[in-house]
Amino acid sequence: MIVMKFGGTSVESAAAIERVAEIVSSRRSQSPVVVVSAMAKVTDQLVEMGQRAAAGEAAGALDLLSCLRQRHLATAQELLGTKRGAAVAPRLEVHFSELNNFLRGLAAVRELTPRGSDYLLSFGELLSSLLVADAFVVRRLNASWIDSRQCLITDATYTRAVPQMLATRSRCKKKISPLVHKKRIPVMGGFIGSTAEGVPTTLGRGGSDYSAAIIGAALEATRIEIWTDVEGMMTTDPRLCGDAKTIRRISFNEAAELAYFGAKVLHPATLLPAIHQDIPVYVLNSRNLKSTGTEITAQAPPSRDVFRAITAKSSISIVNVVASRGVMVHGFLRSVFEAMDRHGASVDIVAISEVSLSFTMETKRLPPALLNDLARIADVTCENEQAIICLVGEDIHGKPGIAASVFNTVARAGVNVRMISQGASEINISFVVKQSDVPRAVRALHEHFFPSARPAKRTRARKSKVPLPERMNGSGVKELEARSFREQETEVLAQTKSVAGAS
Ligand code: ADP
Ligand code: ASP
Ligand code: MG
């Protein structure tokens, strides 16, 4: 069997769901299990409803709920026709009335707990999965709706629950496998699960990808397909850089690094279950059925470019911890790390000297209590609105000059680098810049490291007829100056490769 996950934009409207039905129909013989996200923007709207209700604005929250209800009922009617749409409506209305009660209660108590938030957000995927399952049945696909809360079992870390694989496996085998054996197509919501006691949980924003991988691992799927709104994993976020190109094949390690450092196309934990069971993952475009997408497997052929891709992760804080005067330097680092441990701080990049340490964390995950704790042992300052830019490639290790060209390129783009990390992971170079500098830095780096993604005209213009030795010995100085650093570097790398090949 295979798992097919469709993201928010892939189920955003009746037309999009029609396309999903077509895609699933084309894979019918491979025993698909379908996992869907909430319709595009619905989770954001649920978040806003929760915030408004918790602020006592019941009317505003209920207005938003009314729009959400209209959108789902109208889509149901468009997909299922007036008669069947009306028949399905009561199943959806049950959820809207639960939501209505919850928002009123929230406006009364004015407190939205993480547990309450998970309950609230779970409705997005419950509603979309019900719609999609019915749309399939009407299109003669033998679909059965599955309640994900009964299959995906997690701990009680609300808002980013951790899956309990043993329990999940046994539930999936009991609830999903028999349907697959009967040639039915199970359809379920991603992102949501429940504790062993049945309290709804979520896997964190963007978690439907992770759900698909968890279900795939639990059911020993032969492949996991992530259908989204772009051609696959790309050399950078296409919203940042129009020249981004699709990566045909990439290794688990590289893709996991990219997902962790901000390639939103995959939830950061998605690849863990797949790696564990060596299940290939495909990222595909639900708007272009002919797309070959990206294949993610244990091994991938080396990239033609120096790096496989560039990512950026925004909303980062830098915390600078400097040992106070008079404090014993000995034991300083230990105290800092112990404080991080006490607060369960998950740190991205660390730079250390004898008496100072800087680290980065997602701003929303930085516990104020950690800063207070650190302030007892050191002088602490915090810089918000920072971003980590990360360049990933399995072949960068041991190649001279790569870091130099990364930082030269960033400097030429006029971007200041605040922190640098290279070496901790063999496959990435990451550094911190101001969030507002991200587009400039990423575009410059992409243009520099992915020359084949540039328009053809500019590629032709780069070719030089002057032989290399002449240029090197000074007679071609003007031309050498006119050529970009990148072109020189490509040449040097090519020579290094041919020398290495010859030896
Ligand atoms: P879905 O709703 O299908 O889960 P997401 O919005 O979560 O889709 O992820 C897809 C988006 O991820 C793309 O529209 C793209 O802008 C963004 N993205 C960021 N980095 C990359 C990358 N390296 N390759 C492809 N897409 C990326
Ligand atoms: N609907 C959830 C979100 O928007 C999960 C997902 O789309 O993967 O975060
Ligand atoms: Mg997503």
**What number does the ligand 2 atom closest to the CA of 37 have?**
7
* CA 234 to ligand 3 center in whole angstroms: 14
- Domain ranges for the chain: 2-229, 309-453, 462-503
Q: Which of 129, 131, 208 to mutate to test the pocket of ligand 2 (most atoms within 8 A of CB)?
A: 208
Is the CB of 410 within 6 Å of ligand 2? no
Ligand 2 site, residue 428, Cβ cutoff 6 A = no
Q: Which ligand has the nearest atom to the CA of 226?
A: 1
Q: Using a 6 Å cutoff on CB, does residue 9 contact ligand 1?
A: yes
Rounded-to-5 percentages of helix, strand, coil across the chain: 50, 20, 30
Distance 265 CA to ligand 1 centre (A): 3
Give the number of the atom of ligand 1 that is nearest the alpha carbon of residue 238. 16
Cα 267 to ligand 2 centroid, rounded to whole Å: 9
> What is the whole-number distance in angstroms between the Cα of residue 252 and the centre of ligand 2?
22
pLDDT by residue (tens digit) across 344-392?
Answer: 888 989 998 878 899 999 999 999 999 999 998 899 999 999 999 999 9
Q: How confident is the model at residue 453 (pLDDT cuts 50, 70, 90)?
A: low
CA 216 to CA 277: how far, in whole Å? 9
- According to the model, what pLDDT value does residue 251 have? 95
Phi first, then psi: what are they for 303, rounded to 5°? -80, 150
43 lines ligand 2 (CB under 6 A): yes
C-beta of 163 in contact with ligand 2 (< 6 A): no
- What pLDDT score does 84 carry? 80
224 alpha carbon to ligand 1 midpoint, in Å? 17
pLDDT at 454: 57
Say whether pLDDT at 462 is over 70: no
Q: The tokens 């980062």 sit on which residue?
A: 316
Residues 233, 266: Cα–Cα separation, whole Å: 9
Q: Give yes or no for residue 263 CB within 6 A of ligand 1.
A: yes
- The CA distance from 378 to 336, in Å, is 9
Q: Report the nearest-CA residue for atom 7 of ligand 1.
A: 265
Strand partners, 311: 390
Task: Write the CB contacts of 27 (distance below 8 Å, at least 6 apart in sequence).
Answer: 2, 4
The DSSP code for 435 is G
Ligand 2 pocket, 73 CB below 6 A?
A: no
Give the pLDDT score at 487. Answer: 40
Kindly report the protein residue whose alpha carbon is nearest to atom 5 of ligand 2: 206
Cα 201 from chain centre? 19
Find out if CATH 3.40.640.10 is the number for domain 309-453: no
Distance CA 38, CA 121 (A): 9
pLDDT score at 412: 96
321-325, 366-370, 437-441: least confident range: 321-325
CA distances from 263 to 134, 232, 249, 256, 389 (A): 32, 11, 16, 9, 11
Q: What is the pTM of this model?
A: 0.87
Check whether 473 has a pLDDT greater than 50: no
Q: Is the CB of 234 under 6 A from ligand 1?
A: yes
Query: Is residue 5 within 8 Å of 35, Cβ to Cβ?
Result: yes
Model confidence at 455, pLDDT cuts 50, 70, 90, reads low
Q: Which ranges of 55-113 would DSSP assign to H, the alpha helix?
A: 58-109
207 Cβ inside 6 Å of ligand 2: yes
Closest CA to 235 of 491, 449, 490, 421: 449
| CA 18–ligand 1 middle distance (angstroms) | 21
What pLDDT, in 10s, does the model give residues 169-210? 999 999 999 999 999 999 999 999 999 999 999 999 999 999
Residue of 35, 237, 296 to mutate, ligand 1, most atoms within 8 A of C-beta:
237
Task: Say yes or no to pLDDT of 28 above 50.
Answer: yes
What pLDDT does 398 receive? 75
β-strand pairing of 153-154 with 192-195: parallel
Chain Cα centroid distance, residue 2? 21
Q: CB of 206 closer than 6 A to ligand 2?
A: yes
Ligand 1 pocket member 8 (CB < 6 A): yes
Which residue's CA is the nearest one to ligand 1's atom 10? Answer: 265
H or E element that contains 375: helix 368-377
Ligand 3 centre to CA of 263 (Å) is 10
CA 264 – ligand 1 centroid, Å: 5
Q: Among all chains, which residue has been given the structure tokens 């995927």?
A: 125
Assigned superfamily of 2-229: Acetylglutamate kinase-like (3.40.1160.10)
pLDDT surpasses 70 at 75: yes
Whole-number Å distance, alpha carbon 134 to ligand 3 midpoint, is 23
- Which ligand 1 atom is at minimum distance from the Cα of 235? 23
Ligand 2 nearest atom to the CA of residue 44, by list position: 4
- Is the C-beta atom of 233 inside 6 A of ligand 1? yes
From the CA of 426, how far away is ligand 1's center (Å)?
A: 25
Closest alpha carbon to 281 in 206, 222, 236: 222
